[in-house]
Amino acid sequence: MYNEKGDKMIKYPNGKKINTSITPTVSTKTHRRGMSLEKDLNISNEVYLARKRAIIHKKPTPVQVVKVDYPSRAHAKIVEAYYKVPSTTDYNGIYRGKYLDFEAKETASKVSFTFKSIHPHQIKHLQEIIEHDGIAFVIIRFSAYDQNFLVKASDIVEKYHDPNIKSLAYKWCLEHAYLISTGLYPRLDYLAVVDEIFFN
Amino acid sequence: MYNEKGDKMIKYPNGKKINTSITPTVSTKTHRRGMSLEKDLNISNEVYLARKRAIIHKKPTPVQVVKVDYPSRAHAKIVEAYYKVPSTTDYNGIYRGKYLDFEAKETASKVSFTFKSIHPHQIKHLQEIIEHDGIAFVIIRFSAYDQNFLVKASDIVEKYHDPNIKSLAYKWCLEHAYLISTGLYPRLDYLAVVDEIFFN
């Protein structure tokens, strides 16, 4: 049993404080890797929001609630629920008057990013966004190199549908994707890349 | 204990079937009312998506997961979680190349829709969307009359910040909001109203 975020003390709406930094009893390596890119993006999005540059939020993780208990009249406690497969991407919002939509993925591989990590629903969703003239992309972190790439959705959709291609090679990313510069505020300035490739 | 959706048999990712149409042991009247507007909107959004008219999805309900069990290697079972206050609105997406964002609320009152039903975060979010030139509104269902109104976010934000106003009167809606026509496909054709007030 562990907390999904690996966060420190959190104050819940009902005033209950819970130490959630419990050491996981099972391997959550993949999960934790995903979280750190997520945290960098969330912090970057807060900076963008505060500077009135963009409004981009992460969607909540979809959960199917099965049972809810009411320990008291006011508080609902979910006691049985399951993670659901997401039907869209993780992030969306508005930037320079346009709709923006992306998925963020992290890989430990030094060679490639496997398409197994992306759900078919998400590819279909990105394709639809392109058809509706939205800004769509995927951010891929190669944690071995500590590099974050912005891959245009049109590129990933094309490669995903090629039966001979099962992954996106790191070498391909170096040549055809866009390296996102890292800093302090924002940590990941992916909108600088968006400016370059979608507004130039 | 009951299922949050009040739905029929659902097949979960792990193949487990659960009868979720259990009669609630506590009053969930408010909750169930909200669900039916949500269902109408979700079905309308499916029609819009299939017709390539718009891509609008409901965001998942935000849940703070505290404990996860692993009954088997592959399946994560959430055993302790709590509903969180949403920081944005329920629905967003892309329509006619523009970013669109709205909240949906239902009231049983015959007189007014109370602002207590909207979180300050959501008002702030709608205000930000307006500043970024997005399409923003609230859909309010007066279930007593079976009428659904589209209220421009600019109107609701203005009234929300007026210390003398604590609710939106039904009479005000009849005069200043936009009645959404109901049909079969889509059930709630709110984009027809969006065309009229945001694209004319």
Three-class secondary structure of residue A50 per DSSP: helix
Least confident of A2-6, A74-78, B180-184: A2-6
**Residue A159 reports pLDDT greater than 80:** yes
- Helix boundaries (H) for chain A: 29-50, 120-131, 153-160, 170-176, 190-198
**Single-letter amino acid code for the residue at A10:** I
Contacts of A200 (CB under 8 A, 6+ apart): none
In the predicted structure, residue B2 carries a pLDDT above the cut 90: no
A129 Cβ under 8 Å from any chain B Cβ: yes
Regarding an ipTM greater than 0.90, the answer is: no
pLDDT tens-digit map of A188-199:
999 999 999 999
Q: pLDDT band at B164, cuts 50/70/90?
A: very high
Of the residues A82, A87, A119, A130, the best mutation for testing chain B's interface (the one with the most B CB atoms within 10 Å of its CB) is A82
Least confident of A1-10, A33-42, A136-145, B177-186: A1-10
pLDDT at B27: 37
Question: What amino acid is encoded at A45 in this protein?
Answer: N
Could you report the per-residue pLDDT of A116-145, keeping only the tens digit for each? Answer: 999 999 999 999 999 999 999 999 999 999
Interface of A with B in 135-194 (CB under 8 A): none
How close is the nearest chain A Cα to the Cα of B178, in Å?
A: 24
Residue B170 tokens read as: 């039904």
Return the residue in A94, A128, A191, A198 with the most chain B beta carbons within 10 A, the one to mutate for interface testing: A94
pLDDT digits (tens, 9 = 90+) for A98-112: 999 999 999 999 999
> Is A8:A22 a contact under the CB 8 Å cutoff?
no
Residues 74-113 of A with CB under 8 A from B: 75-85, 87-88, 92-95, 97-101
| The model's pTM | 0.81
CB within 8 Å: A55 and B128? yes
Chains A, B: CB pairs < 8 Å: 156
Please tell me the distance from the alpha carbon of residue B144 to that of residue B157, in angstroms, as a whole number.
25
Residue of chain A minimizing CA distance to B11: A64
Phi, psi of B32 (to 5 degrees): -70, -35
Contact at CB, B83 and A76, closer than 8 angstroms = yes
* Cα A93 versus chain centre, distance: 13
> Which residues are CB-neighbours of A121 under 8 A, at least 6 positions away?
A85, A86, A87, A88
Whole-angstrom Cα distance, residue A44 to residue A189?
A: 7
The answer to whether residue A35 neighbours chain B at the CB level (below 8 Å) is no
Query: Chain A contact for B70, CB < 8 A?
Result: yes
Residue B8 binned pLDDT confidence (cut-offs 50, 70, 90): very low
The pLDDT confidence band at residue B74, using thresholds 50, 70 and 90, is: confident
DSSP lists the bridge partners of residue A10 as A18
Mean pLDDT of A66-95: 91
b/e map B138-174, b = 16+ CB within 10 Å: bbbbbeeeebbbbbbbebbbebbeeeeeebbebebbe
Question: Apex CA B173: angle with CA B169 and CA B175, to 5°?
Answer: 115
